[in-house]
């Protein structure tokens, strides 16, 4: 791919499919285009990085769909699962950051985190990633 | 207005009034100030661009108001409807982008889209718009 | 601290704990690191700046927790209250902006605003703050 073309720093804060899909789709697409990509999972978004909760992600308050209905839509639309997208992002070079204050809040241990996690950082670590004049930053 | 003053690129992902109003108010205001403005409607936000759903936008989970209550507040506050704001945005030069993956997901056809839509793009097209060091990017 | 290191401009649009905590935690952390920080409270987020509603912030639709459960988690996690974090942000130099269209919409008077509020601005004022190529902008 040659030199990295730009940088994308996202916060994935929502623990529902309609919040996590956009973050993961943007992450995998940006990585495929050669961008440096970071996703900082925090609050509800941390559900995706936790073995105990990764398979219990609700579809969405917003869309007003049940889990079964969203599942049907997703398979009809040929959309991969959130877990598959996360793995795909990781393989594409996306950096996966877990949020330490959220872990403290919910008493999450390091053992519960999926192996895709690159590191556990706080607000300060996130700001270091985002404070780059060339970075596109999105809070999702 | 002379030369464009800056660029604003927004993602409108929420299909509720409290998610769509901020996006449209910022879009119309920024366009009036001479900024180049793009709104990329995705997931729930696509409800606003679809003839079938544009009149069925829920007020908001967040505010805890019924449609009737929000309607009363909006008319008291002299706020235009979402549809009127969208038209106003379009007339002000705001570019309206529809999300192709969302359309695939929900089986939305091109015919169902309102005429204000400029084009149908995916994550890659959005990243091209957003990857401008001078752009203000907001995920709403 | 010497010269300011960067600028962080956030919109706090959600009126729930899971939307307000990230904004306030980022604000206080960024200010402590010497950044210039602005938080523009709008729509649901305005609940935090209003004497009538500041003590009635719901935990979160997203996390699926009751107020009591979130309170228990927060005290276990040693997390300060939203009110304390807001005061801490103010003391750290964070600028607190209230949204005039939201005030019109809900009929909020100036008297109802907490004293921490620096000013009342609209979309145009927010865009002036955000349209700085070096600013990190987040819509929360």
| Candidate from A70-74, B75-79, C60-64 with smallest mean pLDDT | C60-64
Residues in B closer than 8 angstroms to C61, CB to CB, are: 61-62
Percent of the residues in chain C that have a pLDDT greater than 70, as a whole number: 91
Could you read off the pLDDT of C118-136 as tens digits, one per residue?
999 999 999 999 999 889 9
Candidate from B13, B127, B130 with C-beta closest to A22? B13
pLDDT in tens, B99-124: 999 999 888 999 999 999 999 999 99
Share the mean pLDDT of chain B: 89
Out of B44, B104, B127, name the one closest to residue A63 (CB).
B44
What are the tens digits of pLDDT across the range B49-84?
A: 999 999 888 776 555 566 677 777 777 777 888 999
The chains in contact with chain A, meaning 3 or more Cβ pairs closer than 8 Å, are B, C
**Residues B65 and B127 sit within 8 Å (Cβ to Cβ):** no
pLDDT recorded at residue C139: 97
CA distance C62 to chain A (A): 6
Q: Alpha-carbon distance B74 to C104, whole Å?
A: 9
The pLDDT of A5-24, averaged and rounded, is 92
Residue A2 pLDDT more than 50? no
The alpha carbon of residue B13 is apart from the nearest alpha carbon of chain C, in Å, by 12
DSSP of chain B, one letter per residue?
--S---EEEEEE---BHHHHHHHHHHHHHHHHTT-EEEEEE-GGGGGGGBTTTGGG-B--TTTT--HHHHHHHHHHTTPPPHHHHHHHHHHTT-EEEEEHHHHHHHT--GGGB-TT--EEE-HHHHHHHH--TTEEEEE-
The answer to whether residue A44 scores a pLDDT higher than 80 is: yes
Taking the C-alpha atoms of residue A100 and residue B140, their distance in angstroms, rounded to an integer, is: 25
- Closest CA in chain A for residue C136: A131
Identify the three-state secondary structure at position A139: strand
The pLDDT confidence band at residue C39, using thresholds 50, 70 and 90, is very high
Tokens representing B27?
A: 């879009």
Write out the DSSP string of C16-47: BHHHHHHHHHHHHHHHHTT-EEEEEE-GGGGG
B15 vs B39, residue with greater confidence = B39
Per domain, the residue ranges of chain B are 7-139
- Is the pLDDT score of A115 beyond 80? yes
Q: How far is B16 from chain C (nearest CA, A)?
A: 12
Q: Give yes or no for residue A59 having a pLDDT over 80.
A: no
Low-confidence winner among C28-42, C50-64, C74-88 (lowest mean pLDDT)? C50-64
Q: How far is B100 from chain A (nearest CA, A)?
A: 11
Out of B16, B42, B104, the one facing A77 most closely (by C-beta) is B104
**A13 vs C6: CB contact, 8 Å cut-off?**
no
Using a CB-CB cut-off of 8 Å, the residues of chain C touching A126 are 26
Q: Does domain C7-139 have CATH number 3.40.640.10?
A: no
**Predicted model pTM:** 0.91
Helix C17-32 / helix A123-130 crossing angle, nearest 10 deg: 70
ipTM of this model?
Answer: 0.88
Contact C93, C34 (CB under 8 A): no
Q: Do A139 and C134 touch (CB under 8 A)?
A: no
Kindly give, in sequence order, each residue whose CB lies less than 8 Å from that of residue B67, ignoring residues fewer than 6 positions away. Answer: B58, B59
Residues of C whose CB is below 8 A from A56: none
Q: C19 pLDDT exceeds 80?
A: yes
Nearest CA in chain C to A53: C63
What letter does residue A110 receive in the DSSP assignment? G
C interface residues, A as partner, C-beta within 8 Å: 5-6, 8, 10, 18, 21-22, 25-26, 29-30, 33, 35, 60-64, 73-74, 76-79, 133-134, 136-140
Encode pLDDT of C79-93 as tens digits. Answer: 888 999 999 999 999
A48-55 long-range CB contacts below 8 Å, 24 or more apart? A48/A12, A48/A15, A48/A20, A48/A82, A48/A86, A49/A96, A49/A98, A49/A113, A49/A114, A49/A116, A49/A117, A50/A108, A50/A112, A50/A113, A50/A114, A51/A112, A51/A113, A51/A114, A52/A112, A53/A15, A54/A82, A54/A83, A54/A114, A55/A83
Q: Measured between CA atoms, how close is A22 to chain B, in angstroms? A: 8
Is A60 within 8 Å of B42 when comparing Cβ atoms? no
């Amino acid at each position: 791919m040659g030199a990295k073309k730009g940088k994308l720093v996202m916060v994935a804060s929502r623990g529902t499919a309609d919040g996590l899909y956009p973050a993961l789709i943007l992450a995998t697409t940006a990585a495929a285009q050669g961008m440096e990509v970071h996703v900082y999972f925090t609050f509800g978004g941390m559900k995706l990085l936790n073995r105990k909760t990764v398979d219990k992600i609700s579809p969405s308050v917003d869309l007003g769909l049940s889990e079964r209905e969203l599942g049907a839509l997703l398979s009809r639309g040929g959309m991969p699962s959130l877990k598959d997208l996360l793995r795909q992002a990781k393989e594409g070079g996306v950096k996966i950051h877990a949020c330490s204050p959220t872990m403290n809040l919910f008493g999450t241990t390091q053992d519960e985190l999926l192996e895709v996690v690159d590191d556990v950082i706080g607000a300060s670590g996130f700001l270091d990633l985002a404070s780059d004049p060339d970075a596109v930053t999105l809070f999702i």
